[in-house]
Amino acid sequence: MAPIQESKPTPTEVHVANLQQNIETVSAVIDIVAETISDPTKLETLSDQQIEQVFQELVVEELTVEQADQIVEALDKAPTKVKKAFENKVNVFSGLFNSYKMVGSTIPVGERRTLLAVSNTMVAIGASLRRREK
């Protein structure tokens, strides 16, 4: 008797599953932020790992711009503990979260990325000019 082969999900099925997962996760993020804002003691009952688990469920490559904007909007109001969990689990420099302000930062991620690129370019130009002078 031949072994039963399990069929692999098609790329479309994977995409649909990822979209559904993101819808649920975005909703969970918004719920966590709303709960911790309305009842700050709720945050004390959640461990860092529990909060990070929510963000770990995100499939960032499949997020829509609207979903990313919803997450950023919710995180703008979120306690620091929630923001740090987000930053630990999600690449905030992916391009989807350009308007997100990281913990301890006064400028959004998109502007920060631009400033880093400009400063790196200036350093490279300065180094090449010094080599020419020698």
Question: Could you tell me the residue ranges of all domains in the chain?
Answer: 11-133
Query: pLDDT tens digit string along 107-119?
Result: 998 888 888 888 8
Cβ within 8 Å of residue 32, ≥6 positions away: 46, 51, 54, 78, 82
In this predicted structure, what is the pLDDT of residue 121? 86
In this predicted structure, what is the pLDDT of residue 4? 65
Nearest to 98 by CA among 63, 126, 131, 52: 63
Task: Give the separation between CA 93 and CA 96, rounded to whole angstroms.
Answer: 8
Q: In terms of residues, how long is the chain?
A: 134
In this predicted structure, what is the pLDDT of residue 100? 94
Query: pLDDT tens digit string along 8-35?
Result: 889 888 888 888 888 888 888 888 877 8
- Please, which pLDDT band fits residue 103 given cuts at 50, 70 and 90? very high
